[in-house]
Amino acid sequence: MVNLSVNLCGLRLDNPVIPASGCFGYGKEFSVFYDINMLGSFSFKGTTLSPRFGNPTPRIAETPGGMLNAVGLQNPGVEHVIAHELPEMKQYFHKPVIANVSGFSIEEYVKTCELLDAQEQVGLLEVNISCPNVHGGGMAFGTSADSAAAVTKAVKAVTKKPVFVKLSPNVTDIVSIAKACEDAGADGLSLINTLLGMRIDLKTRRPILANTMGGLSGPAVFPVALRMVYQVYKAVKIPLMGMGGVSSARDVIEMMLAGATAVQVGAANLVNPYACKEIIEQLPAEMEKYKINSLEEIIGGAHS
């Protein structure tokens, strides 16, 4: 009998498969398709201090091997999430969840994280300093080691639960930023967020996305994500959640060999609502195929 469980900063997960923020909402829509309690956990919709309508439409564009999105952190705001979404979530998900937080100033990150840290259902915080689809926030903090460290330090000062910082791939040296976050007290790192891209409509000769550019996700980004997880694992001592184009049980195993303790699945959920369910169900057979008894034993295995 193979062992799928992993320990993520003290959280014992039944398996390492976690739907990524922005691709799973608050889990309610997916709970209609299958019992989402089979998931290791899930990272709920990116939350900001104040409600956000998001970017103008069109904000989704198809592309070979993936998709572009410029949703722009649409969410009802942290107070609404605490008052309505989390209580409703209790009815259909009975494990600790991951709270994904974005902000437009260090003060916003601090306040939002402080409020969510106090919620019983929240197992850990995922601080998104890497969203490429908003102006003046998100990725603005994630492209500088100093800014990334400043957000991390400020959030850690007001929280008790583990803090994972979500890193941007849109940088020249992700390792230096990862190390800065670790030095500032991060308990773990999530990587990667989407790669900045765009498409042009040949008929109108204008960008398809109203925001001009958006974040590229899907299978096309998997090799980039895998490379960055591998690089960061070698440089830090804190656990990683790997993501970016993961769409199969084999991808999960690759990510873990590169250094991920847990693996998030994003765009695949938008193509197939059963994606995470199928990956979890297929993991034991893939493990047996490659003579893997326990997933925890293979974390960072590609380095030895």
Give me the catalytic one of 9, 23, 113, 131: 131
Q: In whole angstroms, what is the distance from residue 115 CA to residue 129 CA?
A: 18
- Beta bridge partner(s), residue 196: 215
Q: By the 8 A CB rule, do 45 and 27 touch?
A: no
In the structure encoding, which two tokens stand for residue 24, read together? 């799973």
Q: In whole angstroms, what is the distance from residue 248 CA to residue 255 CA?
A: 11
- The set of residues, in sequence order, having a beta carbon less than 8 Å from that of 5 and lying 6+ positions away, is 12, 13, 14, 15, 295, 296
For the question of residue 181 being annotated catalytic, the response is no
- The set of residues, in sequence order, having a beta carbon less than 8 Å from that of 297 and lying 6+ positions away, is none
Q: In whole angstroms, what is the distance from residue 270 CA to residue 221 CA?
A: 16
In the structure encoding, which two tokens stand for residue 282, read together? 């297929």
Q: In whole angstroms, what is the distance from residue 185 CA to residue 66 CA?
A: 34
Closest of 193, 186, 184, 31 to residue 97, by C-alpha: 31
- Beta bridge partner(s), residue 191: 242
Backbone angles phi, psi at 7, to 5 degrees: -110, 115
Q: In whole angstroms, what is the distance from residue 169 CA to residue 231 CA?
A: 12
Backbone angles phi, psi at 12, to 5 degrees: -85, 115
Q: How are strands ordered across the β-sheet holding 66-69?
A: 60-63, 66-69, 214-217, 195-197
Residues involved in catalysis = 131
